[in-house]
Amino acid sequence: MTAVPAILGRRSTGERVRGGAFYGLLVFSITVGFVLLGTLLIDVFRKGIPFLDTVLLTEPPSATPEKAGARPAILGTIYMMGLLLLMAVPVGVGTALYLEEYADRDRWYNRLLEINIQNLAAVPSIVYGILGLAFLVRGLGLGRVLLAGAMILTLLVLPIVIVSSREAIRAVPDSISQGAYALGATQWQVISRQVLPAAIPGIATGSILALARAIGETAPLLLVGALTYVAIDPTILGQFTALPIQIFQWIARPQGDFKLLAAAGIIVLLAILLVMNAGAIWLRNRYQRRW
Amino acid sequence: MATREAAYGPQPGIRLRAESRRWSEDVVKGVLALCALVSVATTVGIVIALLEPSIEFFGEVSVVDFFSGTTWAPLFVPSSFGVLPLLAGTLNVTAVACLVAMPLGLAAAIFLSEYARPRVRQILKPSLEVLAGIPTVVFGFFALTFFTPLLQDVGIDVNVFNALSAGIVMGVMLIPTVASISEDAMAAVPRELRDGAYALGGSRLQVSTRIVVPAAISGIVASFVLAISRAIGETMIVLIAAGGIAQLTADSREPMQTMTAFIAATGIGDVPTGSIEYKTIFAVGLTLFVITLVMNVFAIRLVRKYREIYE
């Protein structure tokens, strides 16, 4: 046994010190992110807890911080989630099905479609806001309404829904659809009764994550005009606000107490996101099968 | 052979095609293709939305003045439309963010790929992704109300609104972007390369920095480019924490306005449709869109390249 280290030799002290220092540097680097995340959460909770009460959840905004609530904003965010679910998920899953099951990848237009989706995923969100401002709010004359905001967020998260749905559909083994074809099923029968049901947990997980991304999005909604003062409960075709917008509005106020109110709003927003993400993880662990 | 074919091939007289055309199948395919068209329409819509007012804008303001002017004051009389201060603001914040995100993200990727045990990686990687899931308005709040005062406390003379704080917080936010794409590229480097280097007596440090990083370089560069692109396109952090003064300065401690922050700040206000102020949103938006598009196309190509090499 002693012969082995004799052949390989010991590493020199300098080399070991360098190796140790490098390791230390790596550990430090990966810690930075967690330290900032931890500090951020502690800071937000420390500032926001005093204002986290039923007034925040049930009252409309007000000029005095103690009486101000985020009821219209929270409702706006909830309505937005509903509309997104109705618009982004069907269109996204439809596109994914087209690309995975129907599209001939040798055709130029299908390749272009894929590249297009990849690029859309990386377009800055404020650019979607410009699209909304130009076409929905002013072009179509829809005005600064909740539906316009939801449509823009739909387009924004569509690439995420498409990519995750494609992965879920691709994970369904070919043998299942081949078996169905062998029994004489048509293509749509195979997809709607075999492939889709098997892919639903994956699609649902991806869709929830996409939705979570959408409701935290602020910049495009600013351009679609969610910044107006809204004290009444939102309607789909009426003026609206949303939780991140309300938070931004409170941050922008000069009075210090509004910043604390913003922190309380952030806690609510983070809580909603936490529930959604936890739901997605639970879904994945509970239903996702490995073939 | 002949009997085998008879047994497995199509029997004579039996047609495997559907007896009648199923129109509903075509309808379904049409509907799905229509869904796919939505994303094409989005791209076309973005291009039209940006181009049309921009062309009108450049009819009133010369392109040369726009890209070489050093004063950005579209709402003042007399107005001035030099985009350089906005570009400088964007560049400044982006540079700070990249100085944070690139080294830390790359180091995190090396740690996850070469040093961490599988169990540790399984916990660390998704936990790090949590950073990417926090809404940017929250990071903006943090930069303004916690990080800037912290910088002032440690003796850095920053303005209440400054590019430094916004850039650093944005950089930390981008660590998962760099780490996750770089780690994917490193995971695609074949084991044999590492084993060969270890067999030659290489230490973990040497194998990581001289074998794995060079082999994964196209993916790492792609992650860097994507991080830059996301930093350029990020709005809320700079809107909240970097201030709203478009000034041409290299000093990160000063307030600055980025392209994105200008678009947001102007879009919030009720600028009348068709006015020159309204059109500036689109001219700046077009500039932003073109810059990020070029970077994204480049990054997507690079990612595809490393996939081709090793997979």
Q: What is the pLDDT of residues A92-110, one digit of tens each?
A: 999 999 999 998 888 889 8
| Number of CB atoms found within 10 A of residue B29's CB | 17
* Alpha carbon distance B192, A192 (integer Å): 44
pLDDT in tens, B252-281: 888 999 999 999 988 887 777 778 888 899
Percentage, residues of chain B above pLDDT 70: 92
Segment 163-192 of chain A within 8 Å of chain B by CB: 186-188
Give the H or E element holding residue A10: none
Amino acid A113 reads L
Lowest mean pLDDT among A244-258, B4-18, B189-203: B4-18
Task: Say which range, A40-44, B126-130, B301-305, B306-310, has the weakest mean pLDDT.
Answer: B306-310
Report pLDDT for A47: 92
Q: Answer yes or no: is pLDDT of B19 > 80.
A: no
Nearest by CB to residue A222, choosing from B36, B142, B268, is B268
**Closest B-chain CA to A103:** B33
Interface A–B counts its CB contacts (< 8 A) at 249
pLDDT on residue B36: 93
Largest Cα–Cα separation, chain A: 84
Alpha-carbon gap, residue A24 to B9, rounded angstroms: 66
pLDDT at B126 over 50: yes
* Residue B306 confidence (pLDDT): 67
Identify the three-state secondary structure at position B222: helix
Q: Does A155 touch chain B (CB under 8 A)?
A: yes
Neighbour tally for A37: CB within 10 Å: 18
- Decide if B149 contacts B248 (C-beta within 8 A): no
Secondary structure string (H, E, C) spanning A98-156: HHHHHCCCCCHHHHHHHHHHHHHCCCCHHHHHHHHHHHHHHHCCCCCCHHHHHHHHHHH
Helices (H), chain A: 3-8, 13-48, 54-58, 71-97, 108-120, 125-131, 146-170, 174-182, 187-190, 196-215, 219-224, 243-252, 256-287
DSSP code of B72? E
**A117, closest residue in chain B (CA to CA):** B39
Q: What are the contacts of A11-19 at 24+ separation with CB within 8 A?
A: A11/B203, A15/B203, A18/B205, A19/B203, A19/B204, A19/B205
pLDDT tens-digit map of A3-49: 444 445 677 888 889 999 999 999 999 999 999 999 999 999 999 99
Q: Do B267 and A133 touch (CB under 8 A)?
A: yes
Helices (H), strands (E): how many in chain B?
A: 15, 2
For an interface test with B, the pick among A126, A160, A266, A285 (most B C-beta atoms closer than 10 Å) comes out as: A126
- B57 close to A (CB below 8 A): no
Tokens of B99: 């100085």
Q: Are B176 and B223 contacting, i.e. CB atoms less than 8 angstroms apart?
A: no
Question: Would you say residue B15 has pLDDT above 80?
Answer: no
ipTM of the prediction: 0.90
Do the Cβ atoms of A135 and B45 come within 8 Å?
yes
Which range, of A33-42, B6-15, B111-120, averages the lowest pLDDT?
Answer: B6-15
Ranges of chain A with pLDDT below 50: 1-7
Q: What SS3 state is found at A92?
A: helix
pLDDT over 90 (residue B12): no
The answer to whether residues A84 and A148 touch, using CB atoms and an 8 Å cutoff, is no
Q: Going along B72-194, which residue ranges are E strands?
A: 72-73, 80-81
Per-residue confidence (pLDDT) for residue B14, from 0 to 100: 67
- Find residues 2-61 of chain A whose CB sits inside 8 Å of chain B: 8, 11, 15, 18-19, 22-23, 25-30, 32-34, 36-37, 39-40, 43-44, 47
β-bridge pairing B72-73 and B80-81: antiparallel
Could you give phi then psi for residue B80, rounded to 5 degrees? -145, 135
Name the residue of chain A whose CA is nearest to B209's CA: A22
Query: Residue B16: is its pLDDT beyond 80?
Result: no
Q: Which residues of A fall within a CB distance of 8 Å from B179? A: 30
CB B169 within 8 A of CB B141: no
Torsion angle, alpha carbons of B105, B108, B114, B115, to 10: 170
B144 burial type by CB count under 10 A (0-12 exposed, 13-18 middle, 19+ buried): buried
Residue of B nearest to A15 (CA): B203
> What is the residue-averaged pLDDT of chain B?
88
- Looking at residue B252, what is its pLDDT? 86
Q: Out of A28-37, B137-146, B275-284, B299-308, which region has the weakest mean confidence (pLDDT)?
A: B299-308
Cis check: omega of the bond before B78, within 30 degrees of 0: yes
